[in-house]
Structure 1
Amino acid sequence: MGTVLGYFRLDFSSYIGLAKENKSSLPLMGQIYMHIGEEATRLGFLAPSQAAGNPAVIALLDHLAWESCNRGAFRFLAEMDEDEKAFECFRMAGFSVYTRQQIWKIQNSNPATSDLQGEWRPLQSLDTRELQNLYHSIVPPLVQGAEGLDKRIVQGLGYKLNGELLAFVEMISGPNGVYLIPVVHPNMREPHALLSSMVKKVNIQTGKTIFMAVRDYQSWLNSAIEDLNAETSARKVLLVKHLVRRQKVEALNPIRKVLEAHGTEPSATIVQHIRRKK
């Protein structure tokens, strides 16, 4: 039996789609949202959770992907628990895993003062080049292709030592807390002191509960965060569906064509010219 689709159009940056396996079944709802300046939409929620394994989820995800394209998105991102029943439906809808992460909850506290030589300070536009260099050297290409940090402005804090950016943390603030995504150079020998000073800085600025996401390629930070008396949750899987197809295009080289069309004529060498004069 065909799937019945519908929608609630809130505004251009947010959209809620509906899907029903048949007219008598309960509807499934899914929301996408897109931040200004980004090239990807994100799945806000999928409800009800007990119907996540319903085949109608595939039709709903296809519908949301279509709406993402209408908003100019190149990618469709989603996040779920590792043991989520809907994972197979997402895979059948064209999603693939690009990384995993651990979420830590850090209550408002005053971490012990550390003898950290550098300093955390707000990121500025002048830090863009250093931030991108650090990001490209630490983050795997698979993650870079999914999240596209180069195309958006990062709000957060940066850590510099002797004028060199060695770490930064992206901050996403909400009513229930602040969400942090750190990127730290592996040469940092005191990750506990680094994260402790960063948590203290965020507490002073926001006063909110901190949620910190540690990606698998930065898993060595987990032990340092655990020392901050943080609570961990279930591991998350990050998924992406690419909405455009990459196509190789021949790069034209007009200078080479000009040189090939106008060949050079050989001339007499200087030595031969001198001998003739003698």
Structure 2
Amino acid sequence: MTMTNRDTDTRACTLVDIPLIRRISDDVAVLDTEVEYTRDLYGPGGAILSSLLLPHRHAFTFISRVGDEQAVGHFRLREPEGVAHIVYIAPTIRPQDDDTAWLHVFDAMAREAGRHDAQVLIGEVGEDDPLFETMRHSGFAVYARQQIWRRPPGEYVCLEPQVILAAAQETDLGAIQGLVARVVPKMLHPFIVPTGLQPGWVYYRGGRLMAYISVSKGRHGVYLTPFIDPQAMPQAPAIFHDLIQNIQGNGKLPLYVQVRRYHEWLHTPLHGLGFVPGPPQALMVRHIKAIVRQPKFALAKKSFRVVPNLVTMGEPPDDYDRDLTLLSS
């Protein structure tokens, strides 16, 4: 990390920054794997430029200039979880770079996320990426290790006994939250346990929810986030097979499965189903200090009517009812 005393300019991006965004859009570090593998990020119609041309009220882009260095960061709010997820940082950092501009961008995103009641700012980054160290210096800590497993398009034969999955319904939310809470380490609960129903599929056995896999489908792929009880390990290949048949019968899109350390046992069944692991990544988390908003008080002039205490014995005096007036000073 290099800190300098040079003048800095850090602010929200506007339309005047489009030439810069266009220039660096081919050199970005994507920190949101769901977006990376499902959406079109690059090019004239990609998410990077559209975030400025068609801004969303839950997405924010910041730019920082320090001397000759310029860095841009974009994050999205995941409501109502109170989580801000960094989508990309641009340009990528090289080991010899002065990363001061990137540090200012992280600080700006954290401040803005806090203003919108986010509790954490998170990002997924390769463990060998120079950005990993910059994020650590910016206050991020490693909360989980993960790999993204990929299977190319195409159909395949599953020889496992068949299981039947069903599309998740609102009535499944309580069971889903309970499953995630018992599968995921407690330190990850604040930003992993879903507070609302997300598209996905569920598998019950004996009336108990054994698996829930959330599904995010885009033009470029299908991204799966599994939560599977270890007791359902023998059924894991069949669970994924039935899920794939439900969401992608024609097999025209690649599949991606997010596998974090607490689901390492999924490596064997995924490998048997033709999935290949990607490079190791870290889920980085930066906690955001709460912004305390002080209430504003104004003096008011109002009359209050005194009511006799109900437990008072006997009749009140004739002059008991009276008005008390609170006067503003």
TM-score computed with the length of structure 1 as normaliser: 0.80
1:96 paired to 2:101: no
Report how far residue 178 of structure 1 moved: 1.5
Contact 1:159 1:165 in 2 (8 A): yes
Report how far residue 46 of structure 1 moved: 0.5
Report how far residue 164 of structure 1 moved: 2.1
Q: Whole-Å Cα distance in 2 between the matches of residues 206 and 126 of structure 1?
A: 30
Contact 2:154 2:251 in 1 (8 A): no
Query: Which residue of structure 2 aligns with residue 18 of structure 1?
Result: 63
1:138 paired to 2:186: no
Query: Which residue of structure 2 aligns with residue 253 of structure 1?
Result: none
The aligned amino acid for 1:170 is: S
Q: Which blocks of at least 5 consecutive residues in structure 2 are unaligned?
A: 1-5, 15-54, 291-329
Q: Which blocks of at least 5 consecutive residues in structure 1 are unaligned?
A: 246-278
- Percent identity of equivalent pairs: 22
Matches within 5 A, 1:62-211: 62-114=107-159, 116=161, 118-145=163-190, 147-188=191-232, 189-204=234-249, 207-211=252-256
Match among 2, 5, 8 for residue 7 of structure 2: 2
Q: Whole-Å Cα distance in 1 between the matches of residues 247 and 78 of structure 2?
A: 23
Contact 1:55 1:89 in 2 (8 A): no
Q: Whole-Å Cα distance in 2 between the matches of residues 202 and 232 of structure 1?
A: 21
* Count of matched residue pairs: 242
Q: Whole-Å Cα distance in 1 between the matches of residues 171 and 251 of structure 2?
A: 24
1:27 paired to 2:70: yes
| Distance of aligned partners of 1:111 and 1:120 in 2 relative to their CA distance in 1, 3 Å threshold | farther
Matches within 5 A, 1:220-239: 220-239=265-284
- CA deviations on 1:157-205 (whole Å, 9 max, x unpaired) are 1112233210010112222111111011111223222222222222139
Match among 14, 18, 39 for residue 82 of structure 2: 39
Contact 2:84 2:122 in 1 (8 A): yes
Report how far residue 37 of structure 1 moved: 2.6
Q: Whole-Å Cα distance in 1 between the matches of residues 153 and 214 of structure 2?
A: 19
Please tell me the root mean square deviation across aligned C-alpha atoms, in Å. 2.0
User: Aligned with 2:249: secondary structure?
Assistant: helix
Query: Which residue of structure 2 aligns with residue 266 of structure 1?
Result: none
Contact 1:78 1:240 in 2 (8 A): yes
Contact 2:163 2:238 in 1 (8 A): no
Contact 1:113 1:197 in 2 (8 A): no
Query: Which residue of structure 1 aligns with residue 35 of structure 2?
Result: none
User: Aligned with 1:119: secondary structure?
Assistant: coil
Report how far residue 242 of structure 1 moved: 1.4
Query: Which residue of structure 2 aligns with residue 258 of structure 1?
Result: none
Q: Whole-Å Cα distance in 1 between the matches of residues 262 and 161 of structure 2?
A: 24
Q: Whole-Å Cα distance in 2 between the matches of residues 227 and 202 of structure 1?
A: 20
Q: Whole-Å Cα distance in 1 between the matches of residues 9 and 119 of structure 2?
A: 26
